Amino acid sequence: MYLKRLELKGFKSFAERTEIEFMPGVNVIVGPNGCGKSNIVDAIRWALGESNVRHLRGQRNDDVIFSGTDKRRPLGLAQVDVAIDNCDRVLPLDFAEVSVTRKVHRSGESEFYINRVPARLKDVQDLFAGTGLGKKGYSIIGQGELEQILNLKPFDRRLLLEEASGLIKYRHRMEEAETK
């Protein structure tokens, strides 16, 4: 499973329809400050079901919609389409490629699609649960978060590693057994 393609339309600074192709392995996005690198990561998180707009560096739900520049009027709709290669069937759908689309209108109306079929936020979250790509998968580490992790006290860093590796449930069980 890997991220194959990303299509943005009206998302944050990407007013024009923008398509980005990714390859298996390491991909690097470079560019000057403020050119939209982090917005690309925000778009992936958003399409995969991030429901807290503050985690996308925004205050309100419509902050993800292109808000206009001196030369261009604001848009009324943001749309992100994420295509995931699923040849290894890590996602529990029998398709070689799975696409997840999220749209939000300035009126507040929001839509999700899985392979172009209307879906709920919960369907998208369920699709990625347990694959490491979901909200708590640590597969997306934001700017500044790495420094936070490195600055953690040893015990807290250990807890984070236990959580990321799926070991935390054993710690919980151990603690439960000890209190009995």
3-class DSSP string for 96-162: CEEEEEEEEECCCCEEEEECCEEECHHHHHHHHCCCCCCCCCCCCCCCCHHHHHHCCCHHHHHHHHH
99 annotated to a ligand binding site: no
Min CB(42)–Mg ion separation in Å: 9
Min CB(140)–ligand ATP separation in Å: 14
> Is 38 a residue that touches Mg ion (CB under 5 A)?
yes
The residues, any chain, with a CB within 8 Å of residue 153's CB and separated by 6 or more, are none
Structure tokens at 114: 């899985």
> Is 139 a residue that touches Mg ion (CB under 5 A)?
no
> Is 61 a residue that touches ligand ATP (CB under 6 A)?
no
* Contact positions with ligand ATP (CB under 6 A) in 81-120: none
> Is 144 a residue that touches ligand ATP (CB under 6 A)?
no
- Give the footprint of ligand ATP on this chain (CB under 6 A): 12-13, 31, 33-39, 63, 65-67, 143
- Give the footprint of Mg ion on this chain (CB under 5 A): 37-38, 143
